[in-house]
Structure 1
């Protein structure tokens, strides 16, 4: 719950970076844990599992160690682990998006581009979190005005501007910016280039 205290307000702000990369030891342990899970699952789905139930433990270990299809069963289990990780990632990405993270942050966490994150988790970013200052920004410059707003579905910022010479332009529909400052700067370039009032570009 958010009681409006400085602690909660600070907690709800996105921190960049939001993590530190796993150490080599942490990655090695994770790999070992995943391999153990896959090996256990592989033992359960192995087509010979029932055939060797009555084999003495020592002989069973030997059979397990030499049978090539036992390793194929483990490989199939690892594919199930990947599918489970992808499913879990989609849920976590959605949770992050509903708490104010955008596609730039989701992509960075998954080590992919913002565009790739949008394709991987469409709809994950669907709400604006006021705590992250994603409210629209309106400003006047060079005799014109611009509005910068956050597009949650795109996971980025967009702009539309009316220059002093009454020309109107907006960012292309397929283009968004990672920050409101970047979008405002692009709008500012347009305003600066159209400061005359006779319809000509300055």
Structure 2
């Protein structure tokens, strides 16, 4: 009998978590839906709910599409980050509740060649991106067009190659001729 109480409490906890998540997502969604509705109807965003119910519903649906695309993008970044730290497809699949093969299909570039060094040439300067075991992340080292040399500070690497490239690119832009 004790087990059924534990199961019921766990289910109740998940229900409470889901209600809280739903509320947070709806709160975050409202500005997106309002902006989409304002563009579609010309109504000011605060008048979204004064539109026809079908139009309001379609604006909410369109906003969920934007959120869905962003969640997919962020999920792929999280999978690549886990892969860059050494997670294999079996572990990625387990985290997502799918098979190893499903994870490989969902995120084909998450594991493997993610640690290959590369060069970046922008604004007349150049930078090299590389994976460093210590501090454990992507680092960069660059030479600006104005002759200034710099590198990612030694506090730790970036979780993704793209993030390191963004910082290197900002440095190169700042030190263009």
Normalising to structure 1: TM-score of the pair? 0.44
**2: CA distance between counterparts of 1:36 and 1:87?**
21
Superposition deviation, residue 123 in structure 1: 2.0
In structure 2, the partner of 1:82 is 68
Assess, with a 3 A threshold, how the Cα gap between structure 1 residues 104 and 95 changes in structure 2: closer, same or farther. same
What's the RMSD between the two structures over aligned residues?
2.8
Assess, with a 3 A threshold, how the Cα gap between structure 1 residues 77 and 87 changes in structure 2: closer, same or farther. same
Matched, 1:98 2:97: no
**1: CA distance between counterparts of 2:62 and 2:48?**
20
Superposition deviation, residue 27 in structure 1: 2.1
Matched, 1:70 2:56: yes
**1: CA distance between counterparts of 2:53 and 2:48?**
10
Structure 1: runs of 5 or more not aligned = 1-21, 131-202
Equivalent residue of 1:23, what SS?
helix
Matched, 1:31 2:34: no
User: Which structure has greater helix proportion?
Assistant: 2
**2: CA distance between counterparts of 1:52 and 1:75?**
19
Match of residue 51, structure 1, among 43, 62, 65:
43
CA offset digits 1:129-187 (Å, max 9, x no partner)? x9xxxxxxxxxxxxxxxxxxxxxxxxxxxxxxxxxxxxxxxxxxxxxxxxxxxxxxxxx
**1: CA distance between counterparts of 2:89 and 2:23?**
31
Matched, 1:107 2:93: yes
Assess, with a 3 A threshold, how the Cα gap between structure 1 residues 31 and 92 changes in structure 2: closer, same or farther. same
The farther-off stretch of 36-45 and 69-78 is: 36-45
* Structure number with larger C-alpha Rg: 1
Assess, with a 3 A threshold, how the Cα gap between structure 1 residues 126 and 62 changes in structure 2: closer, same or farther. closer
